[in-house]
Structure 1
Amino acid sequence: MAETQNGKAKLGGWTKALLIGSVTLNLLIAGVVIGGIVGHERHPQPRIGDVNIGALSAALSHDEREALRSAAEARGGSFREMRVKDRADREALIAALRAEPFDAAAFDAVMERQRTRMLARIDIGAELMRERVLKMSSEARKAFAERLARGEKRFGGKDRD
């Protein structure tokens, strides 16, 4: 390094740029870490204790969830088909929102198709879950309840209402 008249070291162009880049990268990493910690409290995971199919399926084993998924596809069409329909409806919804003049009937039709499909999925999931629970022994049902309770303690923590 070259010395200045005062005897202090002077940073070269590349060294200075490298130092600034390093400090910037360190601040960025610190921001991501701190943001992750703070963001977890501000945007917590959905409560596992809320009674819904997702909470119930989370308490099942991987194999049980796969069996439910296969049974759901057998009853209500494949998830791939559903995603294709969802994507088409999303595109139709965007087109309806962009249309001039706004076509409320087209918007309503897309929303109703999505609602109907979602309710059908919920109904299939509820039926399959009920069938699975009815087949459980008393011990299996109690173990299932314990897994649900552990999930509540792990994810529920604070009351978010």
Structure 2
Amino acid sequence: MVLALGVGTTTMVGTCVGAGLEARARRVTLSCLLAAAVLATIGLGVAFLGRSIAGLFTHVEEVVLAASGYFYATRAWFMAAFVILFSAYQGWGRATAPLLVSLLRVAIVLAGGWMLQQQVAQLDWLYYLVAGSTVLGALTLGIVFAVRPPNRRAQVLSG
């Protein structure tokens, strides 16, 4: 559901930016973040009912345990914010900041996953590593958006 909201965010922000309504594009982004918070609250219910939800799809205890652990660790709060901010930046025509933050998240998960592999690690640790990278990504994009909000590029028309 959050990905669908992200697609709508890209479209709405892109339409506002294309029309020269930058303030409205920022308000659209903030209102989409509020909608993402509502969806993330639903995700919180999934986190606490993860075992029951995973049990709908399989009865293999190891799979149910792994899925419920993942649901509990990731929680979706920051993932929703990350997806919406990523989508808003695309609507602004600015993909550099989200790309760099995504690459940072991948580097954290790869390096951290490699380090966890060297230890006798539990699967939950990997879930928390992914969740931590998502929190870092959402906070980074949020801070960048607040401190230096995107603006329209000066477009040069060639004749």
Q: Larger % of helix: which?
A: 2
Q: Same fold (TM over 0.5)?
A: no
Structure with bigger gyration radius? 1
TM-score (norm 2): 0.31
